[in-house]
Amino acid sequence: MTKANNPRESENLQDHTKRVVNLLHKHKLVEGLVHTQQMPRQELVEALVHKQNLAELQNLLDRLHPADVAHILEAMPLEDRLMIWDLVKAERDGEILLEVSDAVRETLLATMDSGEIRAVAGQLDADELADLAPDLPRSIIDDVFQSLPMEEREKLRAAMSYPEDAVGALMDFEVVTVREDVSLEVVLRYLRRLDELPDHTDQLFVIDRNEYLRGVLPVNKLLVSDADAKVGSVMNTEMVMLHPNDKAHEAAQAFERYDLVSAAVVNADEKLVGRVTVNAVMDFIREESESEVLNQAGLRQEEDLFAPVWKSLKNRWTWLAINLVTAFIASRVIGVFEDSIEKLVALAALMPIVAGIGGNSGNQTITMIVRALALGQLNPNSAKKLFTKEIAVAAVNGLVWGSVVGLFAYMIYLSIPLSLVMTLAMTLNLLLASIVGVLIPLTLAKLGRDPAAGSSVMITAVTDSGGFFIFLGLATIFLM
């Protein structure tokens, strides 16, 4: 981050500022603070419109929540983004870097020298550092590591050792612990000596002298119970305990099902090692669902909206290449039947219908199954029932839509045999789609792979090539 020093540069900055402030104003990017009382919207907007200068903008940024600053940075084209980033106070860099998307974080880190990055790393907790670590230069991680006290170093090592989809990666270390043999009165006095409690402290963790988790004391119970009661008599011993190596996905399900705000993380010996809080879980759910949507569309990852062209290409080419291969195969299937098409050119016009509807129907089936697998609603016993059902749905769909399509073919080409072939081909391709649509995700799941990833490409490949083959094959047999 370089600051503007000569007048020329700061003039440019002023122009920038004007544009940026207008943008912020027009597009309500300052809404973050809209409903707070101390700084009503009106006042904020006035400040922006009437005093469009650097100082004012900086002042505004200082008062914004780090998540709001992150949001503004994400919505800005690169040039404006870096200008805003320059205005952010250095001591807030860390909390803001934690909030921005991976793609945008990369662009921000690229402008910072190693001294600045080291300063940022110094502002963060072990679990936060672990989140940033993949984006930081190795040498800086090592430096930071050396500078940490022993206990923090262990925490960082632990936090960095978990894969992204493990509970360990969601975990933080801000646990408040109490002993079971003290009275609530003592607990209350102990808490009052603290400056503040960690965010999302909805329960205190009750441990013994060996750090084994004995129970949890919900803060709400602490407040309503008799102060003379012992912790042990008030605490809950039925509680959700997570392990650092549990799948984050399962932890998220536990949070959703039991409406948790925080949950204890214990190691194999049931020693308390940390906790997971609902905000980390919510971020995880959001990321998970977004990567699902992105994957379905063939994007490897979230893209910075204003990424350079070559980055976008890199993000998108795999999927296009895979689809090209399946398209080539489908093309060769058609190639085999070129003689038939030459004799009856109507086949060329009708064949995409059979393939297309097969693909749509197959994708419907696959989405159903993938969802059921994700929610743990499928097991071998019910899979059979499901198979029967999907085939029945496909058969009915095939007959109904096949007839519609057959009618369409008849109206255009006035040939009953052609229209019957069309109906039959549609029915068969929909049946194929339903069978493969159930088999693909179940097989992927059985192989321990993510059933969502790639199953949509596969079904389309099958229904395209299969649809062309069925339709042109039937036509060759019955119409030639």
State how far the Cα of 318 lies from the Cα of 406, in Å rounded to an integer.
37
Stretch 91-130 residues interacting with a copy of itself (CB under 8 A): 99
State how far the Cα of 395 lies from the Cα of 397, in Å rounded to an integer.
5
**Shorter beta-carbon distance to a copy of itself: residue 141 or 175:** 175
The count of chain residues that interact with a copy of itself, using the rule CB under 8 A, is 136
Which position among 60, 129, 133, 334 is part of the footprint of a copy of itself (CB under 8 A)? 334
Integer-rounded Cα radius of gyration of the chain: 30
**Shorter beta-carbon distance to a copy of itself: residue 150 or 194:** 194
State how far the Cα of 167 lies from the Cα of 430, in Å rounded to an integer.
41
477 binds a copy of itself (CB under 8 A): no
Stretch 4-23 residues interacting with a copy of itself (CB under 8 A): 23
Stretch 282-301 residues interacting with a copy of itself (CB under 8 A): 282-283, 285-286, 289-290, 292-294, 296-299
Tokens of 397: 């769909």
Stretch 191-250 residues interacting with a copy of itself (CB under 8 A): 191-192, 194-197, 199-202, 215, 219-227, 237-242
User: Going by C-beta distance under 8 Å and a sequence separation of 6 or more, which residues neighbour residue 213?
Assistant: 205, 206, 207, 241, 264, 266, 270, 271, 272
**b/e map of 170-197 (b: 16 or more CB within 10 Å)?**
bbbbebbebbbeebbeebeeebeeeeee
Q: Quote the least distance from Cβ 72 to a copy of itself, whole Å.
A: 10
**Shorter beta-carbon distance to a copy of itself: residue 269 or 283:** 283
- Residue from 35, 67, 32, 27 nearest 286 by CA: 67
Stretch 256-285 residues interacting with a copy of itself (CB under 8 A): 256-259, 261, 278-279, 281-283, 285
346 binds a copy of itself (CB under 8 A): yes
Q: Quote the least distance from Cβ 337 to a copy of itself, whole Å.
A: 9
The beta-strand segments (E) located in 191-282 are 203-207, 213-218, 241-242, 262-266, 272-277
Q: In this structure, how many other beta carbons lie within 10 angstroms of the beta carbon of residue 233? A: 11
The mark string for 429-468 relative to a copy of itself (x by CB under 8 A, - otherwise) is -----------------------------------x---x
Stretch 163-192 residues interacting with a copy of itself (CB under 8 A): 188, 191-192
State how far the Cα of 472 lies from the Cα of 198, in Å rounded to an integer.
67
405 binds a copy of itself (CB under 8 A): yes
